[in-house]
Structure 1
Amino acid sequence: MARTLSDLPSALDRLDELGRRLAGRKPAVFLDYDGTLTPIVERPELAVLSDSMRRIVRDLARRCPVAVVSGRDRTDVERLVGIDGLAFAGSHGFDIRVPGGRRIARREGEDFAPLLKAVETRLHGALDAIEGARIEPKKASVAVHYRQVAETEWGRIAAVVEATLAEHGTLRATPGKMVYEIQPRLDWNKGRAVLWLLDALGLTAPDVLPLYFGDDITDEDAFNALAGRGIGVLVGGAPGEAAGNRPTAADYRLDTPEEAGRLLDTLAR
């Protein structure tokens, strides 16, 4: 039976258990950005990393390999994090840079650039009249944000997204927290990106324990990729809320980015 968020124990309540799982092994930590390192905010550009979280991540990176895996464009999340020596996977893993500057861009995603531009134009034409709707072009996707849209208009936005996908069978939409992420229908996601990074960084030995921290549906690909091999920590949505019924492949939960910071600080020591 699939687990739900409400089934997961708090990682902070299981520090002894985590310590036993880490005993004799080297952690490799993968971090989502929005909703994990920073709280979810009304507009993406307002999700600024706090000084305390930046210090924690920097301290952690001195102890073990750290990668940030985000739906944001790689250059955007690199700028927001502002820490040298990390690996970054942006655009849901379609654009990856490892320490030392080596970069991999999924060429299939780049080939979709003209189509995604056309979709962006179509979405503006259909949704710009809806107050609060925001279209965000990215390197390998187009995001439709509706956090600031009246609930009465949510169905209209969903219908436009569905119609767009019906016109372009090579695209898919991944729903997130008040956002639809329209991206190429390819066998590539955050989970595949994490596995690629483990291999590229030489972190495939049995004495390495990968840990992935994420909050959204797109992070489930990473939780699934590490099932039986690492540890997944789902951030956000305390049990008892509607999100508590969400299926997940994670092992533990943390209710807020602040709690994520506490656990990361513990790992950094």
Structure 2
Amino acid sequence: MKNQNVVVPDAKQGIDITIAMALSKSLFSPVVPKPLPAAPGGYFTITRKRFTKKTETGGKINSWVDSMRDSSPSRVKSTTPLSETEDKNSWIVNHPSALNMFEQIVNRSKGKQIVMFLDYDGTLSPIVEDPDRAFMTSEMREALRDVARHFPTAIVTGRCRDKVHSFVRLTGLYYAGSHGMDIKGPSKNSCKYKKGYQGVFFQPASEFLPMIDEVYNVMLERTKSIPGAKVENNKFCVSVHFRCVEEKMWAKLVEQVRSILNDYPKLRLTQGRKVLEIRPTIKWDKGKALEFLLESLGYANSTDALPVYIGDDRTDEDAFKVLRNRGQGLGILVSKVPKETNASYSLQEPTEVKDFLRRLVEWKRSSLQGPCRV
């Protein structure tokens, strides 16, 4: 693919245009990738051929249903077994609260530029039954706005970029929609950082747009018989929300999705929190988006930055893993229950994310470094 849709408005702003060229060399797989086992806390990837083969025996359908069940909120129990409490305490030791460890976190940032990355659903907004009503609170918006005044800030989400922008309504941020397949930076008139450039525009999967639209329309028709199923067109991926679907109907939903994918070998099926997602088979995810944005900001190989990524979804594990492998930055998982994760710290819910962001702003203000305008 010759044109990766990268726009650099002004070369003098300091980014080497070879970033995009280097990315393009390894972006697309020559064939549909072989299925990988589920990484700790990550998503599952399955090829059409092997998916069909295992579905014939019902094994793979059951596997997906089990995975869907695991992603559902835990049911309230009248008593908590001692072993479960012990497991949770052990998990907290290994993934302590980012609020309790706040001083340790900011001490790691001394002499470095904090760069903030945040998921949207379940992180900045609560998980709700209707994804079109996943609104963030005014208090969260205020906290996010203040963070963006002090730190380069990006929202990395599986949602359509325009949809999330309509929820957030802040101009001084980077927005990476469709799991990072649709990236756009702030305009020149927004907050300017010491490094990097504004106005970045990157869409590594633009050739898939007609196919995604086609699959979305087919999916709408095929899922009409499943009460509660909601299909969302997130521009470079199709999301099938099952949060309102009765558990007894999950197997039928997976089978419908599978039957559609049989005709589209260039697409793959992954799973997030209460959602099945159909994406292009390119080597691109939230981890790749994080690396691209760090490159865009001039911090790719710099020891002067501390990337902080906060997310709650399986797909955020790609970004957590990148930070762990780089040995630079830290991941914060938003979860009330223990999960396998590559994150270093935890927060329980969006209200704690808001509190963490507020404390970060207060700490920055106390350092007497003036804010810039968002």
Same fold (TM over 0.5): yes
Structure 1 runs not aligned, ≥5 long: none
Secondary structure at the aligned position of 2:135 is classed as coil
* Cα-to-partner distance string for 1:163-218 (whole Å, 9 max, x where unaligned): 33333221112211111110101101111111111111223321110000111011
> Is 1:232 matched up with 2:328?
no
- Quick check: 1:27–1:64 contact (8 Å CA) kept in 2? yes
Residue in structure 2 matched with residue 113 of structure 1 by the alignment: 209
AA in 1 matched with 2:352: E
- Quick check: 2:156–2:175 contact (8 Å CA) kept in 1? yes
AA in 2 matched with 1:194: L
Residue in structure 1 matched with residue 12 of structure 2 by the alignment: none
Residue in structure 1 matched with residue 310 of structure 2 by the alignment: 213
More strand by share: 1
Q: 2: CA distance between counterparts of 1:98 and 1:201?
A: 10
Which structure 1 residue ranges, 4+ long, deviate > 6 Å from structure 2?
2-5
Residue in structure 2 matched with residue 13 of structure 1 by the alignment: 100
Q: How does 1:134-213 map to 2 (within 5 A)?
A: 134-204=230-300, 205-213=302-310
Residue in structure 2 matched with residue 257 of structure 1 by the alignment: 350
Normalized against structure 1, the TM-score is what? 0.91
- In percent, how many aligned pairs have the same letter? 40
Cα shift at 1:76: 1.2
Secondary structure at the aligned position of 1:164 is classed as helix
AA in 2 matched with 1:34: D
Q: 2: CA distance between counterparts of 1:3 and 1:184?
A: 22
Higher mean alpha-carbon deviation, 203-212 vs 28-37, is at 203-212
Secondary structure at the aligned position of 2:176 is classed as strand
- Quick check: 1:235–1:254 contact (8 Å CA) kept in 2? yes
Residue in structure 1 matched with residue 123 of structure 2 by the alignment: 36
Q: 1: CA distance between counterparts of 2:280 and 2:182?
A: 14
Cα shift at 1:75: 1.2
> Is 1:85 matched up with 2:181?
no
Residue in structure 1 matched with residue 113 of structure 2 by the alignment: 26
Cα shift at 1:3: 7.3
Q: 2: CA distance between counterparts of 1:3 and 1:178?
A: 17
Q: 2: CA distance between counterparts of 1:191 and 1:153?
A: 32
Q: 1: CA distance between counterparts of 2:209 and 2:114?
A: 36
AA in 1 matched with 2:345: Y
Cα shift at 1:264: 1.0
Cα shift at 1:160: 1.8
- Quick check: 1:95–1:103 contact (8 Å CA) kept in 2? no
* Cα-to-partner distance string for 1:2-33 (whole Å, 9 max, x where unaligned): 97793411111212221221222221001111
Structure 2 runs not aligned, ≥5 long: 1-38, 42-87, 188-197, 363-374
RMSD of aligned alpha carbons:
1.8
Higher mean alpha-carbon deviation, 214-223 vs 196-205, is at 196-205
Q: 2: CA distance between counterparts of 1:66 and 1:118?
A: 33
Q: 2: CA distance between counterparts of 1:148 and 1:171?
A: 25
Larger radius of gyration: 2
